[in-house]
Amino acid sequence: MKFKNRVIAAITISSVSFNLIFGFFVIKKEMSTEKERLNSKISHYNTLLGNINTGSLWDFDAEKIKANLNIIYSDPEVNEIHLNDATWTINILMQKKKDLKASHKIRHDIKISRDDIELGETYIVYSRELYTSKLYMLIAEKLLLTLGLIIINIIAVYFISGHLLKPIDSVVDALKEIDSGNRKVRLSIGTGDEFSEIEKYFNKMACTIQSEIDTRTEREKQLNDMHQYLSSLFDSIPSILISVDTKGKIRSINSAAEIFTGIKSSDILGRDIFEIFPLLNEFSADINRVLESKKRYGYKKQLQVS
């Protein structure tokens, strides 16, 4: 994986992780707030029921009691209210849903009394359906918001990282060009930051490499020209010229030597000098001494060839 893609992936993962954690805590806080709201409402209504106008209950006035109960019953989260006096003369039941699941019910039983005399009792059943629905809607809303933020962050990270890391691609492309043989390539980033320093020293390095290669090429050309000149000179000398290695193996001969032996140079190279030139056996001791000592010696001996 490219460095650019690794950076984008790392930033994206960090961003997504942050948004998920942030979203989790936001949802948790909203759930806690919603739960507190419901509990606060339950506590408030329970208090109202406990402090209901006991005069109406004392006087067995069912209409006034219903009017008081309707204030609470009108709340959508209240599903059922039941009240009766101590003698069951008054027995009021208000119910919205009869088939409400037990798991959706929150029931509270409350005693009603005055001057330490028990006048009756009531219970109120709250429905979790609206609370649960609100909670699910809240979670869905926050999840969509978090998902939206994640998508926006990914897009932003991709484009911003791509722009910030573009100079790295330029450097890599320039290095590939140099590796392929294009020594004239130069960087042109122009960001005005640390990448400008990279551009400066890269171009300086490229110029140095180009200069060294040009110098080396010129020297190689000169050496090649000199080699060709010496080869021509070596080959044009009418005297027999032979070069051997330290083991006496022939490395090169000139045209005069080829004519003298009657053998092509390609068939001579690599063979022993005394094998090709048996006449030199007379001087084998001197020749071997030269080869072993690697020193120059002068000889003035005449060899007659019939």
Give 219-232 pLDDT, tens digit per residue.
Answer: 999 988 888 887 78
Does 198 or 73 have the greater pLDDT score? 73
CA–CA distances in Å: residue 204 to residues 140, 177, 185, 210, 273 = 58, 16, 11, 10, 54
Residue 162: per-residue pLDDT = 67
Report whether pLDDT(71) > 80.
Answer: yes
Average pLDDT, the chain: 80
Q: Tokens 């010696």 sit at which residue?
A: 297
Please say if the pLDDT value at position 96 is more than 80. Answer: yes
Kindly report the backbone phi and psi dihedral angles of residue 8, in degrees, each rounded to the nearest multiple of 5, phi listed first.
-60, -45
Across residues 29-48, what is the average pLDDT?
83
Mean pLDDT of 33-56: 80
Instruction: Give the model confidence (pLDDT) of 255-305 as tens digits.
Output: 888 888 888 888 888 888 888 888 788 878 877 888 787 666 555 555 555
Question: Which one is predicted more confidently, 156 or 2?
Answer: 156
CATH topology of domain 3-155: Beta-Lactamase (3.30.450)
Residue 92, helix vs strand vs coil = strand
**How sure is the predictor about 80, in pLDDT bands with cuts at 50, 70 and 90?**
very high
Q: Which of 132-136, 175-179, 187-191, 289-293 has the lowest mean pLDDT?
A: 187-191
Q: What share of residues in the chain are helix, strand, coil (percent, to 5)?
A: 65, 15, 25
- Predicted confidence at residue 150, as pLDDT, reads 77
Alpha-carbon distance 266 to 279, whole Å?
21
What is d(CA 289, CA 74) in angstroms, rounded to the nearest whole number?
Answer: 127
Q: What pLDDT was estimated at residue 296?
A: 65
Q: What are phi and psi of 125, to 5 degrees?
A: -115, 120
pLDDT (average), residues 101-116? 84
Average pLDDT on 185-199 reads: 74
Confidence (pLDDT) at 1: 52
With a cut of 80, say whether residue 94 has pLDDT above it: yes
Alpha carbon distance 39, 126 (integer Å): 11
